[in-house]
Amino acid sequence: MSAASLMTALVVHDVIVVDGCDGTGKTTLARALRDRHGYRLVHSARTPDGTNLTGRYRQLLATPGKIALDRSFVSELVYGPLFHGRSRLSPQETADLAERAAERGGILVHLTGDPDVIADRLRARDGHVPPVELIRGIIDGFHSVFGLLERSAPVRTIDTTSGPPA
């Protein structure tokens, strides 16, 4: 699918939740949605422990207008257990947030790709590359989580191996 046809397919949605392994093109896609189509861009870095994540994302999802989330509640179920020993959101809370996004005309966009290509992108971007086996584990984690969430919201999986998504 070309970048133009991908954009055409996505911009019919008021809420676009973009997630996946580091190096898959989340920020590239989210910035294109902002710059070309006027979406409000929200990049969600890890918040301090004790933050009410459910409340934070409910508030974001209730924001009027077109919004693109660059990393979000989906990541918590993958990166939380891998790097912090636990997720601060339960699978049910995450599914509820996905349902809220869907109720607003939203879609979850799962960016993925070949682990070796992702490693090369990360190396070129900032020189830090986790072991390829860890990248594979992260990719597998996102596949599992998005598989669960497709019961709660539309999911579009895009392999960005052949180039940037936007």
The CATH number of whichever domain residue 142 belongs to comes to 3.40.50.300
Q: Which residue has the tokens 């409000």?
A: 40
Q: Is residue 164 part of a domain?
A: no
CA-wise closest residue to 22 among 104, 139, 166, 152: 139
How far from 127 is each of 23, 130, 143, CA to CA, in Å? Answer: 12, 10, 26
Could you give the number of structural domains in the chain? 1
**49 is written with which tokens?**
């422990």
Q: Is residue 27 part of a domain?
A: yes
**SS3 (DSSP) at 86:** coil
pTM for the model stands at: 0.92
**SS3 (DSSP) at 64:** coil
Q: Is residue 166 part of a domain?
A: no
DSSP string, 130-159: --HHHHHHHHHHHHHHHHHHTTTS-EEEEE
Q: What is the pLDDT of residue 49?
A: 73
Q: Is residue 138 part of a domain?
A: yes
User: Model confidence over 23-77: pLDDT tens digits?
Assistant: 999 999 999 999 999 999 998 776 767 778 899 999 999 999 999 999 999 999 9
- Identify the DSSP state of 96: H
pLDDT band for position 16 (cuts 50, 70, 90): very high
**136 is written with which tokens?**
């594979």
Average pLDDT over residues 151-160: 95
Residues counted in the chain: 166
Q: Is residue 13 part of a domain?
A: yes
Cα–Cα distance for residue pair 34/6, rounded to 1 Å: 15
Write the CB contacts of 160 (distance below 8 Å, at least 6 apart in sequence): 24, 25, 111, 112, 113
Per the structure, the complete domain to which residue 29 belongs is given by 3-45+52-159
Q: Is residue 16 part of a domain?
A: yes
Q: Is residue 56 part of a domain?
A: yes
Q: Is residue 165 part of a domain?
A: no
148 within 8 A of 95, measured Cβ to Cβ: yes
Q: What is the pLDDT of residue 1?
A: 60
